[in-house]
Amino acid sequence: MKYHVEKNTVQETLVIPLFGRLVCSERFPELFSDPEAKRICDSLDYDFEEKRKKMESPAGLFGALEVAQRQYDLRCEAEDYLKKHPKAAVVNLGCGLDDTFSKADNGQCRGYNIDLLDVIQVRNELLPAGGREENLACDLNDFSWMGRIDASDGAVFFAAGVFYYFKTEEVKKLFAAMAEHFPGGVLVFDSCNERGAKLMRKTWLKEAGITDVSAYFSLENEAELLGWSGRFASVTAKSYMRGYRDIYNSVGMFHKLMIHFCDSLVRMKIVRICFNDPADKA
């Protein structure tokens, strides 16, 4: 039996990024291949026709490109960390239905997928944990989840489209706590400036009745983060759409213009924070 997805529910919000990756696989097969996205979408009782029409418009397709490229970028970071720490913990913060761990799995590392209970319940149905992998139901602002991560062989954390919905003070506390709890670890996430974050949160802010937009996390320059904790060894960033694999010459003129917009006007980046490891100084 197919898994039924209701309109205007948590399940639908989780399925849309997944469908975006499927559309990218179909429209840009030379760049993206995501059989898992196709498998899950095929297993759903959900009418994708309306979403397909919107997503295959020029603007909609660029949104799908962003989703697929972001997963590619974060996977690159996870795989890079695993080269030196092959048995590390690979931790997906606010995981939704993202399967980056299975794509980056080297056969030795451990995977942890963390999200709220209602999300994890859907994930357990559609994307159950495999070997060396756990789906953990927890609020990221409840730091007790840190005690459930075995980081004895290192840890790389990544978050896709998550921190825009956190207040800056919450993000600051979370990052500082992670740096203290996971020395030698790496945290990678996507960011953009306040202009971009407002656009991204527009519908959500309206539905939630939030007016104090400035309290929510955005980033004009990654150097701003250096003062957040004395346990940050370094903070670096790369272009979201061009920093890991430059797709500029693989897309049409409209999408080229959108890439320029993302780089110059909303400063979409992938940010990497490396935590200090006292053992390196010994």
**CATH number (domain holding residue 110):** 3.40.50.150
Question: Residue 274: pLDDT above 90?
Answer: yes
As a whole number, mean pLDDT of residues 111-124 equals 95
Average pLDDT value over all residues in the chain: 92
Query: Residue 206's pLDDT is what?
Result: 55
As a whole number, mean pLDDT of residues 195-218 equals 69
Of 88, 92, 276, 86, nearest in space to 184 by CA: 276
Distance CA 106, CA 90 (A): 11
As a whole number, mean pLDDT of residues 202-213 equals 56
Number of domains comprising the chain? 1
Question: Residue 207: pLDDT above 60?
Answer: no
Of 11, 8, 5, 41, nearest in space to 23 by CA: 41
Q: Could you tell me if residue 253 is inside a domain? A: yes
243 is in which domain, residue-wise?
Answer: 70-281
Q: Could you tell me if residue 261 is inside a domain? A: yes
- The percentage of residues in the chain with a pLDDT greater than 70, rounded to a whole number, is 95
Residue pair 41/18 in contact by the 8 Å Cβ criterion: yes
Query: Residue 282's pLDDT is what?
Result: 45
Model confidence band, residue 96 (pLDDT cutoffs 50, 70, 90)? very high
Per the DSSP assignment, residues forming a β-bridge with 235 are: 273
> How large is the C-alpha radius of gyration of the chain?
18
Model confidence band, residue 256 (pLDDT cutoffs 50, 70, 90)? very high
As a whole number, mean pLDDT of residues 246-274 equals 96
Q: Could you tell me if residue 47 is inside a domain? A: no
Model confidence band, residue 7 (pLDDT cutoffs 50, 70, 90)? confident
Distance CA 75, CA 77 (A): 5
Query: Residue 10's pLDDT is what?
Result: 82
Q: Could you tell me if residue 56 is inside a domain? A: no
Q: Could you tell me if residue 100 is inside a domain? A: yes
pTM, two decimal places: 0.93
